[in-house]
Structure 1
Amino acid sequence: MTSAPYAESTVPTLYSFRRCPYAMRARMALGYSGVPLNTVEVSLKAKPAKMLERSPKGTVPVLVLQDRVLEQSLDIMRWALSQHDPDDWLLARDVGGQRQSAELIAENDSRFKQDLDHYKYAVRYPEFTQDEYRRQGERFLHRLNALLESRDFLAADHLTLADIAIAPFIRQFCAVDPDWFWQSPYPHLQRWLQRFLASELFVTAMAKR
């Protein structure tokens, strides 16, 4: 990506891992904003020394800027949208939408992420069966499906930060047992995920480098 207002020396570097849902959402926000970017695909078995020097925690995504390092995907997304947000993903004039978006993302990143990990790696968590872990995760699926019954997106009548922040995790939940997911009683969520997976934004963000 190139853009006249940015000098070459100011181009940020993103350390990413293609299949990581946190990195996915960071890449999509950066791609949408049009910020010039150097992207480094990280091998989790041999993490770049430069990345570890700037971010010793060693997890992706990491965005290295001239004046600071952003180590959390939501911080990266919000920074990207602060540079350019032509379609109002941040819902600048919709306080209610902002609040709902924040609540959904918080639930996704906490309880649902835990349910997803238990469902995906059920063999590591023998306290319950995989089906029971899936039922726990369905609490969030049910909430999203209800929101999507009356509109095409989660927090507004257009794509927002909430959709992009949450979709990679629903994709991952679906991938555990696709046959179950596509036959599950969540038709509105299924349509939403199908649109997301077919979007140019997602396809571009997932292209192998």
Structure 2
Amino acid sequence: MLGILYSFRRCPYAMRARLALAYCVEPEQFELREVVLKDKPQAMLDISPKATVPVLQLTDDRVLEESLDIMQFALSKTPDLSQTLYPNHLQDDINELIEFNDGPFKWALDRYKYADRYEESEAFYREQGEAFLTQLNARLEHSSFLMGGEVTLADLAIFPFVRQFAHVNKTWFEASPYTHLQTWLVDWLDSPSFIRIMKKYTQWAVENEPVYFP
């Protein structure tokens, strides 16, 4: 076993960490501890006071508290596959796309989801997010994945956030002009990898039998 993963099923950051681990790591290498955000376990808080998921506690006592660090750790376990998921000649492009996702797009997404908490309208924040949707849709016009014909770290890292954006108003998204992005999203939602990482688990407690992942 390689360690313990604290996760929350619906968190997009936790989703992308689980996706990378599922892609890159042999089965059942981690104990998966499902967290309820309103009732975070003390065992997680003791190793990660910032109290956000995902958190990966490795058997060598390292603690990875950021989803992208966990994804990079996953890549390190499969050097051959890492050249497909994170090829040298695409790394700058992948990093730039993920940075925009985690910055301006996530800013718009949070406000789009909870527009009643902010000054502007839902439509305003949706429009801010559409700048990224437009870019992604253009990338997918002539290829199945964001960087071309193969899955890369960009797809794994960005898909959970596009999923969340689409779910705010599914009727609007399905009627939007982002047809290539819609197809890409449906393909990911139907993929065995996503179905595998979205299995439901009960809240972890010390007395529970261990659950192993992936």
TM-score by length of 2: 0.89
Determine if contact 1:33/1:85 at 8 Å carries over to the other structure.
Answer: no
Q: Distance in 1 between matches of 2:68 and 2:15?
A: 11
In the other structure, the counterpart of 1:4 is none
Partner SS, residue 59 of structure 1: coil
Gaps spanning 5+ residues in structure 2: where?
A: 202-214
User: Does 1:26 find its partner at 2:22?
Assistant: no
Larger displacement relative to structure 2 (28-37 or 16-25):
28-37
Structure 2 residue identity aligned to 1:13:
I
CA distance in 2, matches of 1:85, 1:18: 27
Instruction: Determine the structure 1 residue equivalent to 2:68.
Output: 74
1:43 and 1:115 mapped to 2: Cα distance? 25
**Which among 47, 56, 66 is matched to residue 54 of structure 1?**
47
1:161 partner amino acid: L
Greater relative contact order (CA < 8 Å, ≥ 6 in sequence): 2
Q: Structure 2 residue aligned with 1:168, among 152, 156, 160?
A: 160
The aligned counterpart of 1:202 is 194
User: What residue identity is the alignment partner of 1:140?
Assistant: F
CA drift of 1:204 comes to 0.4
TM-superposed CA distance for 1:123, in Å, is 0.4
Once superposed, what is the RMSD of the aligned Cα atoms?
A: 1.1
**Gaps (5+ residues) in structure 1?**
1-7
User: What is the number of equivalent residue pairs in this alignment?
Assistant: 196
Asked whether 1:134 is paired with 2:126, we answer: yes
Aligned-partner SS, 2:32: strand
Q: Equivalent residue of 1:14, what SS?
A: strand
- Counterpart in 2 of 1:143? 135
Amino acid at match of 1:41: E
8 Å CA contact retained: 1:89, 1:160: yes
Are positions 1:124 and 2:120 aligned together?
A: no
1-structure distance, mates of 2:138, 2:19? 25
Runs of 4+ in 1 over 3 A off after TM superposition: none
Secondary structure of residue in 1 paired with 2:143: coil
Q: 1:165-193, CA deviations, whole angstroms, 9 ceiling, x for partnerless residues?
A: 00000000000000000110011101110
Q: Percent identity?
A: 53
Q: SS at the partner of 1:64?
A: strand
1:84-131 Cα distance to aligned partner (Å, 9 max, x none): 25542111xx42x211111100000000000001111100112x1111
Give the letter for the 2:75 counterpart.
Answer: L
Report the alpha carbon displacement of residue 66 of structure 1 after superposing the two structures with TM. 2.3
